[in-house]
């Protein structure tokens, strides 16, 4: 049977890993796919590096658009990244009748609706397993393995850089700045780590998972995004003492009124498996009505783990290369005409529990005033710890855990507490996720 010819756009870390794994496991991959899959052309601005990695038998070019027009190419792998040139290349490949495999979560989260519509018009596939959680097959699980389920929520540690930083802060008592510097030294964080530490990368991935889980369009612009830059070591310590760990979570939750789509640091009970995911590892927890909770764990980045997902997509596309387009798995799991434009709820409508830390004057009546404010707002207190003031000190910390409530009610209560003369400065607020199931 005629081999499948692949054009690779970008042969950096993931591109190099893809080339190496595809070459090393060529026989096994052909046995699975039913025919040989071979990279015949590589496009990269650094043609010298491309030749060093690919050798002399592969066509090397610095013109990526020429690959999208090549009539001999069946599948284009886009590993350039970003929103601009990558979008133009993907749309060009689609317009020229090429199937596309991409690891570009930013591109799909922002422009996925347009890209998938173009692919449907041209009867080609866009596969993107590598866009979320590296080598963990979470897209396939959501789109196919759990397709009998009404997915209720998805919550995940989907950014290895921030998880490494939080692990270092907890294990070694490092400040955020020191933990970030260590992540950069070890290569877990980029020189400019903004997308990671501000939660943007995780929000891209959460947006993709929410679309597949609930059959809704990509709506990255409506996601609530918070990073870990303002997180203080003292809160990690207090959380640990209360039996919790702080993780940056991407959460998509189905509600009657719409969908919650949010990324932020959150307390998770140390008894939960998700709380014990350490270092640069990723994990995604999915709650379905029939199956219950399922957990997917593994390496969320790196050359060969991500290449594993890229090549799995290549095999899938190869198997379905000649199939009737109507019989292929839809891009977002649901048939295109059944994708529903369900609203993403504003963060004020989120329902969750809270960790609150406040600095107060060490005097009688303070707790009573705070408790009264919560009672007025209909917010139930789950646990409370008041630290003893040090010798000669007139202030102390109060830490409260609340039961689940609507965020706008918590905001109103916090505003009233901050207005008390006995409360010094701002209240530190972190969300607390129960993640019932595992």
Helices of type H across 70-151 = 85-95, 105-122, 138-140
Number of other CB atoms surrounding residue 319 within 10 Å: 13
The pairing of beta strand 4-9 with beta strand 75-78: parallel
Q: How many CA atoms lie within 13 A of 26 on its CB side?
A: 10
Who contacts 357 (Cβ-Cβ below 8 Å, separation ≥6)? 234, 235, 238, 397, 398, 399, 427, 428
Beta bridge partners of 265: 248
Report the C-alpha dihedral over residues 72, 74, 78, 84, rounded to 10 degrees: 80
Cβ atoms 242, 399 nearer than 8 A: yes
Total residues belonging to the chain: 438
Residues recognised as catalytic? 205
d(CA 182, CA 168): 9
How far apart, in whole angstroms, are the C-alpha atoms of residue 427 and residue 418?
A: 7
């Amino acid at each position: 049977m005629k081999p499948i010819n692949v054009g690779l756009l970008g042969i950096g870390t993931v591109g190099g890993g893809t080339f190496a794994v595809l070459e090393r496991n060529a026989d096994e991959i052909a046995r699975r796919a039913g025919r040989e899959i071979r990279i015949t052309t590589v496009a990269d601005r650094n043609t010298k590096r491309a030749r060093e990695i690919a050798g002399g038998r592969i066509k090397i070019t610095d013109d990526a658009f020429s690959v999208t027009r090549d009539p001999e190419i069946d599948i284009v792998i886009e590993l350039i990244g970003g929103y601009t040139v990558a979008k133009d290349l993907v749309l060009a490949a689609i317009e020229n009748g090429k199937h596309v495999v991409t690891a570009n979560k930013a591109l799909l989260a922002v422009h996925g609706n347009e890209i998938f519509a173009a692919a449907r018009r041209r009867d080609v596939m866009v596969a993107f397993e590598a866009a979320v959680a590296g080598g963990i097959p979470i897209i396939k699980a959501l789109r196919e393995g759990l397709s009998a389920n009404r997915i209720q929520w998805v919550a995940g540690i989907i950014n290895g850089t921030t998880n490494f930083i939080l692990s270092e802060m907890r294990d070694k008592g490092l400040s955020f700045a020191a933990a970030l510097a260590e992540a950069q030294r070890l290569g877990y964080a980029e020189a400019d780590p903004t997308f990671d530490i501000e939660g943007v990368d995780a929000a891209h991935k959460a947006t993709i998972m929410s679309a597949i889980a609930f059959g809704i369009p990509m709506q990255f612009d409506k996601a609530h995004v918070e990073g870990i830059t303002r997180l203080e070591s003292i809160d990690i310590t207090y959380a640990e003492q209360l039996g919790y760990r702080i993780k940056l979570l991407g959460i998509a939750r189905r509600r009657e009124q719409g969908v919650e789509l949010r990324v932020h640091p959150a307390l998770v009970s140390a008894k939960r498996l998700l709380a014990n995911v350490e270092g640069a590892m990723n994990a995604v927890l999915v709650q379905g009505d029939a199956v219950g909770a399922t957990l997917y764990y593994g390496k969320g980045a790196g050359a060969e783990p991500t290449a594993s997902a890229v090549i799995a997509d290549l095999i899938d596309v190869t198997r379905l290369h000649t199939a009737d387009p109507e019989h292929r798995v839809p891009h977002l799991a649901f048939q295109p005409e059944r994708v529903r434009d369900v609203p993403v709820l504003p963060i004020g409508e989120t329902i969750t529990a809270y960790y609150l830390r406040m600095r107060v004057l060490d005097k009688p009546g303070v707790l009573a005033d705070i408790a009264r404010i919560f009672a007025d707002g209909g917010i139930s207190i789950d646990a409370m710890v008041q630290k003893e003031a040090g010798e000669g000190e007139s202030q102390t910390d109060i830490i409260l855990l609340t039961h689940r409530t609507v965020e706008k009610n918590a905001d109103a209560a916090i505003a009233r507490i901050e207005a008390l003369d006995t409360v010094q400065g701002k209240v530190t607020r972190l969300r607390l996720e129960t993640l019932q199931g595992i």
